[in-house]
Structure 1
Amino acid sequence: MVLSINRVTKEFGDFRAVSDLSFSVDKGEIVGFLGQNGAGKTTTLRMVMDILPVTSGSVELFGSTDLRKGRLRVGFLPEERGLYRKMKAIDIIAYFGRLKGVPGGKAKAKAHELLERFGMTQYANNKIETLSKGNAQKIQLLSVLTHEPEFLILDEPFSGLDPVNQKLLEDLIGDLRDEGATVLFSTHTMEHAERLCDRFVMIKGGEKVFEGTIDEAREAYEQRIILATPDDPSPLQGRAGVTAITPIGRDRYALTVSEGSDMQAVLAACLELGITVKSFGLEEASLHEIFFRFAGAGEEDAA
């Protein structure tokens, strides 16, 4: 196991940022760490990197609670980017590699390789202060790859990148996984997570609200049947497990059904009640909808 977080709590005075959080990351996985801004994602990642101490609970990296032993095997991209603005791009990538124990010549060669792979060789000798925000962010990312880490921890890695570079980053993360790396990344943008992740951990207010695969999340999400009919479907309420009927457009309704309900029984109830059925099918929830259900704003947040 690459990472194990065991009942971790982090308090800042009277404020509890993370509460009794547990999850793990296995070798070769890409795990999405999802939550709204302020949910506790960055605090958790800082505890994993031993930047912040835990208030209670424990964190294990590569099977050890001595996090210093594992940090050389980790590439960490923090949410707050920070580069030496007067240094050249290639020099700063190589410099971060040397900090992780890569010999100078090898670090420089690896920096060249990464710049070429990301289509950024033309910026190799540019000072950071001359780069656009997006290009500077890519240099920051490349700087955590120089030592070929076994485990990548990326805090909001897609923030600030244009769509083309977001796709390049997605491809890079996938390639790294294929080469045996393990990736944990935080985000509140569901599209990247849905395409990349093997599993998800969702948190809200510092507490875990879901952990599992997208299929497991969909199973936990209330099923909805989309019914197209010119008739009033309200007589279906309470029949065949239908618990709610929501208009979603002209002559279209979302039927919320209880767990274990039979679609065929709902369809039979429509026919029995004389409701004209123009189309009828089970809706597959997107990760965005699931995220809003489990980790999105509730009434107390809105208030």
Structure 2
Amino acid sequence: MTSRVHISEVGPRDGLQSIDRVMPLEAKKAWIKAEAEVGVPEIEVGSFVPPKLLPQMADTAELVAFARTIPGLAVAVLVPNFKGAERAIAAGAEKISMPFSMSETHSLKNVRKDHAAVIEEIAAIAARVAAEPAETRPHFEVGLATAFGCTIEGPVDEDQVVRLAEQAIAAGAAEVGLSDTTGYANPAQVKRLVRRVKAAVGADRLNTLHLHNTRGLGLANALAGLEEGITTLDSSLGGLGGCPFAPGASGNIVTEDLVFMLEAMGIKTGIDLERLLEVRTIIAEALPGEPLYGFTPDAGLPLGFKGTQE
């Protein structure tokens, strides 16, 4: 198991896209700045989707520009298609992630494309990324959404996930990630699928898990992934997040709980957990009444807790 985990905060994108209210731009900036200052190394600041579909994400270009001024912060965004990727590159995003639903029904609902069309889109984005000068070229990851199950189709065949992962890499993606979009995964399934996809595309082409805690297995699934060589975990401050096109799929892993688990185990994150807990105040004040989750924020840190003391 790795001795250090890279935490990618997805709350400003996955969290905020899942609620009706629009967080003010200045509050988003304060949130991003505060998390970066406590040591969060990567933040997915938004997504380049049409504002009429997700008005919560209309200010993503401004957030990318702001986040790029923060020293040491990796600035990530989600893009649904080639047009979104072009906007992300123009804005200066350092990492772009495109969702690729392993459930074709979910893909049609989410991005209105079947699997063949998504592979074509991946190839077009990869070519556009490759054409960018090395110093401004973003890292291009494809997130294999609904990899562990779908709220529309139910179980998703693992052979299909492996096959589509191979096709995404062949089309030019730098790496793939596995996403439990619907909160269906269990630890045995996570270990099995991570092992199979790594074997198919190369161990260095699968580093990331995006997990939900819908049924309380988020941290168990994260640990299972780490045992299979995963080094990057997505999470959301306060557990905000879900998928607008997967009914009932609520609850990203709570960043605060994830950091506590890792640091308590002696796995380095580079994050000051005590200060991270204070960042929740920004969300609570900007979105009064919005439910925030997490056991660690409620219980507090154990007496004598020191973390990895970086």
TM-score (norm 1): 0.38
Which one has a larger percent strand, Structure 1 or Structure 2? 1
Greater Rg by CA: 1
Normalised to the residue count of structure 2, the TM-score between the two structures is: 0.37
